[in-house]
Amino acid sequence: MSTVTVANLPRISGEKLAALLRAKTPGITIIDVRGNDYIGGHILGCMNVPTSTHDHRMPELVRTLRNQNTIVFHCALSQQRGPSSALRYLRERERMSARGELGIREDGKDLEKAQRVVVLDGGFEKWQAAYGSDPELTEAYVKDLWDENF
């Protein structure tokens, strides 16, 4: 069993993620786990996988993302839903790997050793404050929603 907990999940800063995205670094997938609060903007190119769908979507997600190098989870603040989702992903990946359901990646590396799972520090709330108006990093951004709600 993994020793990773919500408390010790690795984090990535918005600045670091923005730099990786601007450099078009391959192998990064961003998972936005917000539900109704997804409205008002999101990181360009992210996948919206609300926490309410995790029971049936997590195995599919692990299989789909097996060849990605970095998986970034986030919610509005990345205090509860984002970290919990990242942990759930790690546990599902570990379970599937132990059952031999994943094998090795296309690059020949073991999935658990090759893939980094992180949480976006500060979530979308912090991201939108810095990059909400940047169309190279954020899409469907509605500034007024964030000014009124956070």
* Residue 37 structure tokens: 């609060």
Indicate the residue type of 71: I
Q: What is the pLDDT of residue 102?
A: 83
Least confident of 2-11, 18-27, 84-93, 113-122: 2-11
Phi then psi for residue 35, to 5 deg, are -100, -110
Tell me the C-alpha to C-alpha distance, in Å, between residue 50 and each of 31, 39, 57, 62, 74: 9, 12, 10, 15, 10
CATH 3.40.718.10 fits 9-35+51-141, yes or no: no
The model's confidence at residue 1, banded by pLDDT at 50, 70 and 90, is low
Is residue 149 scored above 70 in pLDDT?
Answer: no
pTM over 0.85: yes
φ, ψ dihedrals at 67, nearest 5°: -100, 5
> Taking the domains of the chain in order of start, what are their residue ranges?
9-35+51-141
- pLDDT the model gives residue 69: 95
End-to-end Cα spacing for the chain = 38
Q: Return the number of other C-beta atoms located less than 10 Å from residue 118's C-beta.
A: 20
Instruction: For residues 96 and 72, give the distance between their C-alpha atoms in angstroms, rounded to a whole number.
Output: 20
Closest CA to 14 of 146, 119, 127: 127
